[in-house]
Each structure stands twice: as C-alpha cells, then as structure tokens.
Amino acid sequence: MTLEEIIHFRRSVRHYKNIPIDAGKVKHCLELATLAPNSSNMQLWEFYHIVNPDILKKISVACLDQQSATTAQQLVVFVTRQDLFRKRAKVMMALETQNVLKNSPVLKQEKRIKNWKMYYGKIMPFLYIRSFGVFGMIRKLIVAIVGLFRPIVYQVAESDMRVVVHKTCALAAQTFMLAMANEHYDTCPMEGFDSRRVERILKLPHSTEINMIISCGIRDEQGVWGDRMRLPFNEIYKKV
C-alpha cells in the first residue's frame, strides 16, 4: 500500500476475528517503531510484546475487559523508561563521538566531541534527573534567568520532561500501528486500563510508566464502529 492507503486503512478496531497473526511480523513492526523520531534520540522506551495466552487474559482483565483487548490475538504494552536516561545518554555520547571521528574534518573533531560530551554527559542527565520536583525547580530558575537574554526552552520542570518522554513513546506507538496496517493487521490504542495491575503482571520497575496498550489482530466485520469522522479541516488548519 501507499502511505496514504495505509493511513486510510488504519482504524481503531474494537473486535477482532479469532484468527492468529504472525508474531514475527508484529515483532518486525516493533523494530520499525524504533525508527520513530524521539527527543535527542534518547529512546527512553520499551515494548512488551504479549503472546502468552495466560498473560493476554490477565492484561485483558486489567484493560477493563474491553473487547479490543479480550478479542485481541496479541498485545503490545508501550512503556516509558525515563529512569534509564544515564545509560541511554552514554550510548548516544559514544555514538556521536564515533560519528564525529568518522565524518568530521580532523581540525574540528576535538571541539565537536567536546560539545557532544557536554550535551549527553551533562545537559541530558541534568534535564532528566528527578527528585520530588527539586531539580525541576532548579532548571526552571536557570532558564528563567537565561531567557532574559536569549531564546530558550522553558518546559524543563519534572512534569514537562515526563511529557517529553511520553510524547516520544507515542510516536513509536503510532509508527508501529502504521507498520501493522502495512501488513494488513489491525490495532487499537487503549488508554483505559489499570496501570498498577499491568505493572504487576509484567513485573515492571517502579520507575516506569505505561504510555498505552495496543491490541493487535484482524478486524471483525463489526470491529470498526461506523464511518470515520474528523472535524472540518478549515476549522483546525491555520496558515500563517
């Protein structure tokens, strides 16, 4: 399918046929999801691909027994991992250092490597660290002062950084759903679930958060609730 056909094909499916789907294809769609854009390439996410029937049933109950979950052949739980910021920053610092050595003129390498070490070694850890809102208050004070003299990002509170992590995880989830549509598989993103139960079922670390749960399968004839509706485009499109 073309991209436009994929976008039109994708619908939120509420009821699936009792037809198995290929777990390998779903896994490949998750591999494609890792190519989604994300803030500073920190990739603070994890994807839990649920194929075990017992776990599927338990998570379906935690999803309030929605038909999107109870009839799903497989589920994917998208989880944010802000707690891994130090580990991911080190990986990115090493990667960008190698990129500089590979692609930059020799005379500029030292300065560029120093910049990347500052960015991933100092700035990213300072932005993502959490401690009951204390670091967020410090960051907001700093940017308020700096903002008097030049443009700067003001959304640096701990709640702001939580939003950043969830936004980038959602981009991965959307990429996954489009990849699934390309396989002629259907999905439904769900936000109605008991997060504490799901965390216990998957034995997630306390510091994680669930972004969304996506059910997977092949749509039943009654699985899509009517025609797609969107607001008139001229109500939301603003050309400046």
Residues with Cβ within 8 Å of 134's Cβ and at least 6 positions away in sequence, in order, are none
Domain that holds residue 231: 1-240
Residues with Cβ within 8 Å of 118's Cβ and at least 6 positions away in sequence, in order, are none
CATH number of the domain that 60 lies in?
3.40.109.10
**Which among 193, 222, 198 is positioned nearest to 208, based on CA atoms?**
198
The predicted structure's pLDDT at residue 66? 96
The predicted structure's pLDDT at residue 175? 98
The two tokens of residue 3 are 């991209």
How many residues are recorded in the chain? 240
The predicted structure's pLDDT at residue 139? 97
Contact 169, 44 (CB under 8 A): yes
The predicted structure's pLDDT at residue 24? 98
Question: Cα-flanking dihedrals φ and ψ of residue 21, to 5°?
Answer: -120, 160
Which of the 8 DSSP states describes residue 209? E
Q: What residues of the chain score a pLDDT lower than 70?
A: none
The two tokens of residue 212 are 């969304």
The predicted structure's pLDDT at residue 163? 98
State how far the Cα of 146 lies from the Cα of 136, in Å rounded to an integer: 15
Contact 36, 171 (CB under 8 A): yes
The predicted structure's pLDDT at residue 181? 98
CA distances from 94 to 82, 116, 128, 132 (A): 19, 9, 19, 30
What's the total number of domains in the chain? 1
State how far the Cα of 41 lies from the Cα of 80, in Å rounded to an integer: 14
The predicted structure's pLDDT at residue 76? 98
Mapping DSSP onto H, E and C, the string for 122-175 reads: HHHHHHHCCCCCHHHHHHHHHHHHHCCCCCCCCCCCHHHHHHHHHHHHHHHHHH
